[in-house]
Structure 1
């Protein structure tokens, strides 16, 4: 393939990527400090001092940040009055509480950069296998915010295939593998009070949050457990009618073992909904995905090294893709009935499976 790209053209492309990277960190500052939220509530035409006062921050830092936002075409500025405005449609994208929030997701970039130097050591042949979860300060809280944004309403995988809603309405046993702070399973427990729900996570911190969530909502049909997904209780064999796993299988150190455990705890002909990143297994098949570089980098700096940290960890990574996922599901003893994108603004593939 002949390319007409010159070194100068490529240099400009790299400069654009570099500029966007720095701008992303600026957007993260606006989300973390509450500056976007303050500007959303203030209306038009406020000075840097007024914005700083509203957010409870130092004016000089806010003024420099506004320089980033104006030149990055995020915030608008009136040159004569030296006032700043965050248009309503932009505020809706950056501050949304009931849907995918790009402002919150930019916070992932500086958080992951705290392990930049250690990850470079993982590259070396004699370096560490991977990174422990304890190295990622603040990751649990950020994932909690992102999960709540993504699943703010009843998860649409419940209505995306015809079998799920009638099943949940009939009164069944359900377990969420890798439930985190329990947000998703609590939404389901609210909506389907005749079913019994369980949540499993390896993090005691997450399980405490999940129990608090259930208590706040007054739910009596959901129970949370601290277990590793690769070794679930022996007495759970054929206990559950329906298992869900939301963006967790690719993170597992031993995903093949986890899938086998899920099959073990399902009743005969039970169902398993696996939500995972909407990606293809071949790199070139992801070229049309506009956020593929972000997903691969997230994988490189968190999902993959977290899995590889364990002895013989699989290190599937975020972008393991549909072909590999279908192969592993089949090997574990599942019949994949459908694979379809969810309707989220950051969609997953919903792999809907039956135990065979």
Structure 2
């Protein structure tokens, strides 16, 4: 790969100004998403005053007014001025299609919360890690776990049942789920994906596994509220399952959605997955699509964002207790190699048209 050309000082100064502006916009967009201001503006077809926007959202006018200053100077909302000088604001439909909760799987607004939240949770401990090399325990990210559930809702509700599962194993997996099989979701978090599957395939039995007791409690509550008697949730460490215990050969299909790269012992976790599958069992590992080397990701459209999320969460969580610290951007090469070391001798790498930022590693025992 050719070396990058150096940037002229005046050009880099412009770039730094852009960085400062876009960093500020990320924070303000995250605020707009979390408070529901974007959803409130989306409900208005005509430009509104700051007072009207605040009233629609149930927010304080002065705070909303200042926030709108960020939004209009940043090009997120449009600004028009009445003859009397009163400013009015409109969230264009094309912007709302990406920023609001109704955007479903195309929702990018939800991600704007991620960097500010990770900064709040872990900034000081990550800074310490630069000196000590130590990781940050999973338990230090309680607010982030709730965000991950919100993210899972945005990603899974529109695509998991209707778009992803019908493609697995050439459509055969969906047919097996309809008939009734044993399924495990590893690193299930608050159980969004598992409860969606359990509701869609009542003949199958589902087990969610996570090492965080709090998220398991939330998952159990959600499943009970939905009346799902074919779903259970267990607090377990994925790195120590299936070796002569109740989980050996216990599942016909195992899923892991963006979970393996967070493991302290990812190889041990993947070996557990293989032990938990009987001959013919299948494993779907969905993870970020990237290369394993920095030079392979220079053209990645979200490279800086994803590396930052990894720096602030995925890598330090994986480093805790002398863990491997894979990080989110471990990439295809490392993923395929690790799956092979775990005993999966045939790994199919499947691109997903409905999710261009993730890749599906499909394995059969």
Please state which band the TM-score falls in when normalised by the shorter chain.
over 0.9
> Match of 1:166, SS?
helix
CA distance in 2, matches of 1:131, 1:121: 10
Q: Retained in 2: the 8 A contact 1:254–1:314?
A: yes
- Please state how far the C-alpha of 1:142 moved relative to its aligned partner: 0.5
- The alignment's TM-score, normalised by the length of structure 1, stands at 0.94
> Match of 1:339, SS?
strand
CA distance in 1, matches of 2:217, 2:78: 43
User: Paired residue for 1:66, among 65, 68, 85?
Assistant: 68
CA distance in 2, matches of 1:203, 1:102: 27
Quote the residue 1:278 is aligned against.
Answer: 289
Q: Retained in 2: the 8 A contact 1:176–1:243?
A: yes
Quote the residue 2:218 is aligned against.
Answer: 209
CA distance in 2, matches of 1:175, 1:32: 31
Q: Retained in 2: the 8 A contact 1:40–1:86?
A: yes
Say if 1:236 and 1:134 are closer, same or farther in 2 by CA, change over 3 A.
closer
Q: Retained in 2: the 8 A contact 1:251–1:317?
A: yes
CA distance in 2, matches of 1:275, 1:353: 11
- Please state how far the C-alpha of 1:68 moved relative to its aligned partner: 0.5
Quote the residue 1:159 is aligned against.
Answer: 166
CA distance in 2, matches of 1:348, 1:42: 34
> Match of 1:274, SS?
strand
- Please state how far the C-alpha of 1:128 moved relative to its aligned partner: 5.5
CA distance in 1, matches of 2:48, 2:202: 48
Quote the residue 1:218 is aligned against.
Answer: 227
1:229 and 2:235 correspond: no
Q: Retained in 1: the 8 A contact 2:336–2:347?
A: no
CA RMSD of aligned residues (A): 1.7
- Please state how far the C-alpha of 1:30 moved relative to its aligned partner: 0.6
Between 1:148-157 and 1:248-257, the stretch displaced more is: 148-157
CA deviations 1:216-274 (Å, max 9, x no partner) are 32222211111111123612111111111110000000001101111111101211111
Say if 1:3 and 1:210 are closer, same or farther in 2 by CA, change over 3 A.
closer
- Please state how far the C-alpha of 1:86 moved relative to its aligned partner: 0.8
- Please state how far the C-alpha of 1:151 moved relative to its aligned partner: 0.4
Quote the residue 1:50 is aligned against.
Answer: 52
The within-5 A match list for 1:123-134 is: 123-124=130-131, 127=132, 129-134=134-139
5+ residue gaps, structure 2, are: none
1:108 and 2:114 correspond: yes
CA deviations 1:103-146 (Å, max 9, x no partner) are 1110011111122232112111xx26011223324101110000
CA distance in 2, matches of 1:294, 1:2: 20
CA distance in 2, matches of 1:282, 1:4: 21
